[in-house]
Amino acid sequence: MVAERRWRHVSPLLVGGGVIVLAMAVVAMLGSFATPHDPTAMDIAARLQPPGAAHLFGTDQYGRDILSRVMGGAGIALSVGVVAVGIGLGGGMIIGAVAGFYGGLLGEALMRLMDALFAFPAILLAIAVVGALGPGHLNAMLAIGVVNVPVFARLTRASVLAVQQEGYVEAARAVGGTDLHVLRRHIVPNGLAPLLMQASVSFATAILAEASLSYLGLGTQPPMPSWGKMLEEARLFMDRGPWLAIFPGLAIALTVLGFNFLGDGLRDYLDPRH
């Protein structure tokens, strides 16, 4: 009965976002082995061809198939999102849980460090990290993950402070539960709902950040396909081949929209009032 009641409150946004995200995941998997053409193969004789039967999304200035490059870029975008959000969520949960559970001087020091990182604009901090480590999609993953750590740390700390006042936490302590046991079994699991919602939103932000870094030449490097790099390369050919920017731009917009829908739907589904 409880499950049936909860399913009645499944938001259309959750369903729509889940469908979009699942579709992009399928495209990303196909992009690793089943693209119509080699995403990096050049054919100068076929350069700047409009969308047609041979190339559904057209070709770019080097004769590369746009559809294949969009599919290949989907895998990179989603992998960056998974790794970056994983780094941010893992690091932020540890820092936020320690700061909220123990408090005191240690908690204040950790949160002031997070505030200092949070004070920097996200894209500038990511550019600084990539600039120090060098360009490339692996370093972009790390940079975007570092940017996400303060977000999850602040959210985790707030959840821990709220949950540790509950009676079951006091009961766990009363029966001799260690700090690690109380955190792992009672506090962190019961504070996951806001973290899941934030992870979905941060996934969309990570995809945008990767596209921005690639557009600036600091993310995924040629000849690997990247939606951001495709947009940067399309700048000089917009008058002759607008499809060069339209299709990677639509891929970014649709993916980000899907994850934002998913986050909004999770917020409604996990609302305690339901």
97 contacts 183 by C-beta, under 8 angstroms:
yes
Of 64, 67, 31, 28, the residue nearest 46 (C-alpha) = 64
| Pairwise CA distance, residues 90 & 252, whole Å | 25
The dihedral sign for the CA sequence 102, 103, 105, 106:
positive
**pLDDT tens-digit profile of 150-207?**
999 999 888 888 777 766 666 766 666 666 667 767 676 777 778 888 898 899 999 9
In the chain, the amino acid numbered 247 is: F
pLDDT score recorded for residue 163 = 75
What Å distances lie between residue 162 and 101, 199, 250, CA to CA? Answer: 10, 20, 40
Per residue of the chain (274 residues), give pLDDT as tens: 444 555 556 678 888 889 999 999 999 999 888 889 999 899 898 999 999 998 999 999 999 999 999 999 999 999 999 999 999 999 998 899 888 888 788 888 999 999 888 888 888 888 888 888 888 888 888 989 998 999 999 998 888 887 777 666 667 666 666 666 677 676 767 777 788 888 988 999 999 999 999 998 888 888 888 999 999 999 989 888 899 999 999 999 999 999 999 888 887 776 655 5
